[in-house]
Structure 1
Amino acid sequence: MSAPTMRAAVLTAPGECSVQRVPAPRAAAGEAVVDVERVGVCGTDVEFFTGEMAYLHEGHAQFPMRLGHEWAGVVRAVGDGVDPVWIGRRVMGDTMLGDGTCRRCRRGHQHVCARRQEVGIRGGRPGALAEQLAVPVTSLHELPDGVDPVLGALVEPGGNALRAAQAAELTPGDRVLILGPGTIGLLTAMFARAAGAEVHLMGQTGASLDFARSVGFASAWTEQQLPDLPFDAVIDATNAAYLPARALDLVEPAGRVVYIGLAGTPSQIDTRWLALKDVTAVGILSASPGLAATIAAYAARQVDPRPLVAATVGLDQVGAVLAGERIPGAGPGPKFHVDPRTR
């Protein structure tokens, strides 16, 4: 009897993505197998598709690989040592899988473990752009009834955005400028608005700024249009190498700058101005510490990111999405979702 197989999107080289039949996962000890319902495609996935992702050049990842780290699904099976009560639960999962033994992991910082795996990204751990996914049960977060698969697959990017908004330490009446109206920038704006801040967004294209206005952010500007206002915090959610320095220029003395975007080339700030302006600078990597709070915020309807999803496609269209094609009939939002069950 042949081993069971499943459909998965496999990236075999830069620019080469196809749907293949691969062995279906089996739950190892401590793991769960999840039937994947929804997966988000993000900028990191695109960098792997183009071959620009640093992990490819640093030896942390290699082709062939299966992408997908923003996901939601239902637990199908569990391995040895896992309580079977997990079976049938609706879940999403942490991307960062620390080794569990190093000093960082023991201190609760598994997302910066030097030996970590990252689901669909690093260390050979297959991602969720497939019909099923196997992950450690310790990485799972149960989704309440009010958080459907669309929201579930938006928890991971939402956790990053929540942490960025929290790092800005916003209080009601504060004015925050968010650089970049992409998925992370808009999610950050939503969490900042929920905290009572006056939110401004800066972007480049008219279409992205128009979309930001359509979801309630009237103060959306190009760099040339940006009003001369005091910003208590500036959050850089872009990949532009010059904007980290611009963020420091724009923030008020004694304010905070938060860096969640990553440029493809080194960016620089003048630390003399950081000191002379008495500014606090914070870097954010990973949603891990913010996942539970993001689920709670979605469940309570404090933040509703559903309008960000432009379209949901099947595995056969993953390559086109990664290549930047605009799927016919897609809405104006920046995020594409994949339903692996769709043929």
Structure 2
Amino acid sequence: MTDAMRALVIEGAGSARVQAVDVPVPAAGQVVVDVHRVGICGTDAELFTGELPYFAQGKSRFPLRPGHEWCGVVSAVGAGVDEAWYGARVTGDTMLGCGSCRRCRAGNGHVCADRHELGITGWPGALADKVLVPAASLHALPDTVDDRAGALVEPGGNAYRAVAAAQAGPGRRVLVCGPGTIGLLAVAFASVAGAEVHVLALDSRRRELAGKLGARRYWMATDPPRDTYDAVIDCTGDEDVPSAALALVDPGGRMVCIGLSPRPSHIDTRDLTLGDMTAVGILGASAGLAPAIAHYGDGRVAPGDLAAVVVGLDQAAAALAGHVDAEPGTKIHIDPRL
């Protein structure tokens, strides 16, 4: 009889359940990881509802197995993989490029035209007892990064890249729009980089958490800031925010877009040009994973407060459907061992 394990399968829009699936066997260059923690994020929720734009583009299809914010321990290695990985605590990249195209050779595998996205497009994700991944995608976790922080490396990598694109540093003022997980982590990374960080939100529910992570001011949409900033980072999924955010960027400043809206967003390129501004889009955490781990490992950024609720795999479907309560601004983590 084939060995089986448990995995969450989204069978169609609004329908998900834990099923028995075959235990993965690593091929050459691959490893199998025993999953310890997996974060539920907005992308997973949109996979569950079928609202993720990837479905319309043919990149995602049902049934699928989600989970791309994860950490665990390597339990099997394939041919050609360094045996030192066996038993290592790891996390890994979501963006799995082909490895041979021009973009991959240039170090831009996260935008490879033939990439897989773990748990999103064609590669089974980590909401399972075990996950199969390429060894080349692994990042080792130091002992100072516990499982809770380990499963926050992927959103942390996204946030770090956004903050780097904003050129956050001493003497610079940065506005973060949208204090979700990535937005709050962007606050933390920008703050430790030396920037003065403000937050713009729809309500006040995340004010305390934003302040704990380094925000100097917390504005709400009903009373937005009247001044401008060296950089604005849009972490929302609101199609109206980019045009409004552009008006808050200083001439010569930068607007960074990492949020994805379900409908097209619009900005007036005349404002962009006449303000001599730079607009940057951020896709994926790849280049930010190692810096995020370093910041977590030495304590510069402490992300643990962003994952206050941990439940077992049997509650993963309920979590995707929004039926597991969590404090505003915090993330639900799944531990398949529970």
- What is the number of residues matched between the two proteins? 338
Q: Deviations over 1:37-95 (max 9, x none)?
A: 00011111010111111112222121111100010000001011112121000000000
What letter is aligned with 2:204?
G
Q: Deviations over 1:117-145 (max 9, x none)?
A: 011011x2100000000111000011111
Q: Which residue of 2 aligns with 1:233?
A: 231
SS at match of 2:210: helix
Aligned counterparts, 1:1-343, within 5 A: 2-122=1-121, 124-213=122-211, 215-327=213-325, 330-342=326-338
What letter is aligned with 1:309?
A
Give the conservation status (yes or no) of the 8 Å contact 2:203–2:221. no
> Aligned-pair distance for 1:208?
2.9
What letter is aligned with 1:121?
I
- Aligned mates of 1:97, 1:204 — CA distance in 2: 34
Q: Deviations over 1:166-197 (max 9, x none)?
A: 00112212111110010010000100001111
SS at match of 2:123: coil
Unmatched 5+ stretches in structure 2: none
- Aligned mates of 1:119, 1:296 — CA distance in 2: 23
- Aligned mates of 2:168, 2:201 — CA distance in 1: 21
Give the conservation status (yes or no) of the 8 Å contact 1:310–1:332. no
> Aligned-pair distance for 1:318?
1.1
Segments of 4+ moved more than 6 angstroms:
none
Give the conservation status (yes or no) of the 8 Å contact 1:310–1:333. no
Structure 1 residues 166, 214: CA separation in 2 closer, same or farther (over 3 Å shift)? closer
- Aligned mates of 1:210, 1:294 — CA distance in 2: 23
- Aligned mates of 1:183, 1:224 — CA distance in 2: 22
SS at match of 2:185: helix
> Aligned-residue CA RMSD in angstroms?
1.2
Q: Deviations over 1:205-240 (max 9, x none)?
A: 232334424545351111222232231111100000
Moved more, 330-339 or 83-92: 330-339
What letter is aligned with 1:338?
I
- Aligned mates of 2:246, 2:272 — CA distance in 1: 7
What letter is aligned with 1:296?
A
Give the conservation status (yes or no) of the 8 Å contact 1:309–1:336. yes
Structure 1 residues 212, 326: CA separation in 2 closer, same or farther (over 3 Å shift)? farther
> Aligned-pair distance for 1:13?
0.6
Give the conservation status (yes or no) of the 8 Å contact 1:65–1:120. yes
Q: Deviations over 1:12-35 (max 9, x none)?
A: 011111111111111111100000
> Aligned-pair distance for 1:325?
2.3
- Aligned mates of 2:213, 2:329 — CA distance in 1: 10
> Aligned-pair distance for 1:332?
4.0
**Percent sequence identity over matched residues?**
56
- Aligned mates of 2:252, 2:158 — CA distance in 1: 24
What letter is aligned with 2:306?
L
Structure 1 residues 10, 60: CA separation in 2 closer, same or farther (over 3 Å shift)? same
- Aligned mates of 1:212, 1:196 — CA distance in 2: 16
SS at match of 2:308: strand
What letter is aligned with 2:304?
R
- Aligned mates of 1:216, 1:194 — CA distance in 2: 8
> Aligned-pair distance for 1:326?
3.7
